[in-house]
Amino acid sequence: MSSGDLDEGQPLDGARPMVYLHIGTMKSGADHFTVVTVPAATSEPAELWRRFGAAVDIDTELFSASSGGRGNPSLGFAEAEMLRRLNVEIGRQLEQDAYRRLVTGFLSRQVLRGRQDETSAPPTLPPAALEWARQHGARLVSELGELGVGVRGDLSDLVAPPFAGDPRDDAESAASDAAVAAVAVKAAAALLVALAESHDSPERAG
């Protein structure tokens, strides 16, 4: 998709029809809808939980957002690319339960997401796509404001922040072969350690 297509407000990965369907539904009874916006990434982790609690009228102080649950940190560029390549290689060799346990549960959540201090830069939209997203977000803010739906948070959260980096720092450089290889080595090391500690390790099996 070219930047010209984006400037004309064309759909990006099917997002626009889905969002506009929701807005069309709201028009039939705006007073029955409450929009809960996702706060900026720089906000404290519990902010979204507080907004949701306000929307459904529950005391969020009675429930700790951090107790008994797990976080959902994002994968960095290199981690996501390594996982994508792994999925291509695995294909359909793993049954669904095995894939969920080994790849999703262990590799993705514990290994790739569990080392946040070493995770690569998170994926971001390239400048051309970001400009489309900002224009689209501004339209959503305007339409939701006109509808008069309830809002928990700030409608400005729907507008992506402007691009602050170097346009040359795109996905290709962030997910270079060297970066992906470094992540793959760490993943392989973690898998070997886990194998050695399991009852199925070669030493115990022998």
Q: How many CB atoms lie within 10 A of CB 81?
A: 23
Q: Give the model's pLDDT for residue 13.
A: 45
Q: How far apart, in whole angstroms, are the C-alpha atoms of residue 178 and residue 172?
A: 11
The yes-or-no verdict on residue 190 having pLDDT over 60 is yes
Domain ranges in the chain are 1-70+126-164, 75-122+176-206
- C-beta separation of 122 from 76 below 8 A: yes
In whole angstroms, how far apart are CA 141 and each of 3, 10, 86, 100? 23, 18, 39, 38
**Lowest mean per-residue pLDDT among 95-104, 122-131, 135-144, 166-175:** 166-175
Quick one: pLDDT at residue 53?
92
Q: What would the pLDDT profile of 63-82 be if each residue is shown by its tens digit?
A: 765 555 556 677 888 898 99
More confident residue, 180 or 174: 180
Q: Which pLDDT band holds residue 123 (cuts at 50, 70, 90)?
A: confident
Helix H or strand E encompassing 204 = helix 202-205
